[in-house]
Amino acid sequence: MKDYMVKDINLAEGGEKRIEWAGGRMPVLSQIRDRYEREKPLENVNVVACLHVTVETANLILALRAGGAKIALTAANPLSTQDDVAAALASAGIKTYAFRGESDEDYYKCLNDALELNPDILLDDGGDTITAVHAAEKTQKIKGACEETTTGVIRHRARAKENKLAFPLIAVNDAETKMMFDNRYGTGQSTIHGVMNATNILLAGKVVVVAGYGWCGRGVALRAKGLGSNVVVVEINPRKALEAVMDGYRVMPMLEAAKIGDLFITATGDTSVIRGEHIALMQEGAILANTGHFNVEIKVNDLEELAVEKKEIKENVVEYRMKDGRKLYLLSEGRIVNLAAAYGHPPEVMDMSFANQALCVRYIVEHYEELRNEVYSVPKNIDEEVARLKLKSLGVEVEVLTEEQQKYLSSWDLGT
């Protein structure tokens, strides 16, 4: 088997420069990398990573390698690979199996090639690698895994609930220093970037329908509002729906929103959020995009069935003409628009996400014997360390409690 499968190894030089640029904006991960270089905590550890192959991911991979790990990298999505980055990693000797535009068959071939490394640790984004090793019953050597995203965590919790998880797993997604920053500000900015890159539409004055008001949806709504859009939120959870109302958005079911939206963005992690019955109601020119992990949130099959003609307008934009003459536009095949049509989350937030990943890999190596085959939260001390290091890198100091204040907070007998 070849040590890499990338689009064009000659793209490496451009990739190296971009990886360095991003690394300069990832100070927490850089510090961890320096520490790992000195301490080598990952010597003799094989890591298979199924992540979006971006400049930020490259910096994580290089930090793990500095710690002594052997790594094989495969893509977490057929459209998210930055080919220059894949080339740079492959030429730096990392086993890299990823290229933009993989078919489903290529995707699984790359994943299985990466698994040939015989991993001790898995890093997953979305859960496909963890599903694959369970299906192939290749879990014996695996000491543990980390999951990067909400969709994956949902799948692993379901598996664990049925006692079918074969190794401990850390839900990196749920760390506060991950979810509140990467999911909100990362998804918010990069999703809008993806839509703008693909379409260059003016967002001011548009009705933007955001489906899902978790951290990702909140971020998308916030940024669309900031650009002057009139944001409508579609949400199933009453507490989150109420939050959206008080954040100043209109909230309604998709059947209502479908009639008024200019741009639809799904960020739910669930399937069939936009389907035939909604597509039938949409206005001429409506644009549909998904920023959830899998391409199931917009029912593309329904769009295909309802359309009488389909044509590619440009990369990442396909026009569907309906029987009644309306034209609707689908971005990036309904795949994760922020990575398919833009660069994904900026390095400043991936710094915290991947610092958590790097520290959790070490945690598993040092603690796997005490862990059960369950889904664990990121240890509090890791989450707090990431916040502390990030603040330090920003030159921000926090207030310190006085002795009197500490005493006050830990007492129960002081009142009016």
Chain contacts with ligand ADE (rule: CB under 6 A): 51-52, 54, 56-57, 186, 339, 344-345, 350
Q: Where are the alpha helices (DSSP H) in 140-270?
A: 150-161, 176-178, 187-199, 215-226, 238-246, 254-260
Which residue has the closest beta carbon to ligand ADE? Answer: 344
Note the Cα 208 to chain centre separation in Å.
Answer: 22
Instruction: Decide whether 70 or 293 has the Cβ nearer to ligand ADE.
Output: 293
Among left, alpha and beta (phi > 0; psi -120 to 50; other), residue 284 is: beta
Give, as one character, the DSSP assignment of residue 179.
I
Nearer to ligand ADE, 186 or 269 (CB): 186
Select 168 or 219, whichever has its Cβ closest to ligand ADE.
219
What is the rounded CA–CA span in Å between residue 139 and residue 151? 21
Radius of gyration from C-alpha coordinates of the chain: 22
| CB-nearer residue toward ligand ADE: 269 or 344 | 344
User: Residue 96 corresponds to which tokens in the numbers above?
Assistant: 């890299």
CB of 54 to ligand ADE, least distance (A): 4
Q: Report in angstroms how near the CB of residue 345 gets to ligand ADE at its nearest.
A: 3
Task: Give the nearest distance from C-beta 293 to ligand ADE in angstroms.
Answer: 9
- Placement of tokens 């990952």 in the chain: 42
Dist CA 203 CA 192 (whole Å): 9
CB of 11 to ligand ADE, least distance (A): 18
Beta carbon of residue 195, minimum distance to ligand ADE (angstroms, whole number): 15
Residue with Cβ nearer ligand ADE (168 or 186): 186
What is residue 384's three-state secondary structure?
helix
Continuous H helices in 24-169: 27-39, 55-66, 83-91, 104-115, 128-135, 150-161
Which residue lies nearer to ligand ADE by CB, 199 or 357? 357
Give whichever of 127 and 186 is closer to ligand ADE, judged by the CB atom.
186
Least separation in angstroms between residue 362's CB and ligand ADE is: 20
Q: Which residues contact 17 (CB under 8 A, 6 or more apart)?
A: none
Q: State the nearest-atom distance from the C-beta of 344 to ligand ADE, in Å.
A: 3
Spatial distance between the Cα atoms of 7 and 75, rounded to a whole number of angstroms: 13
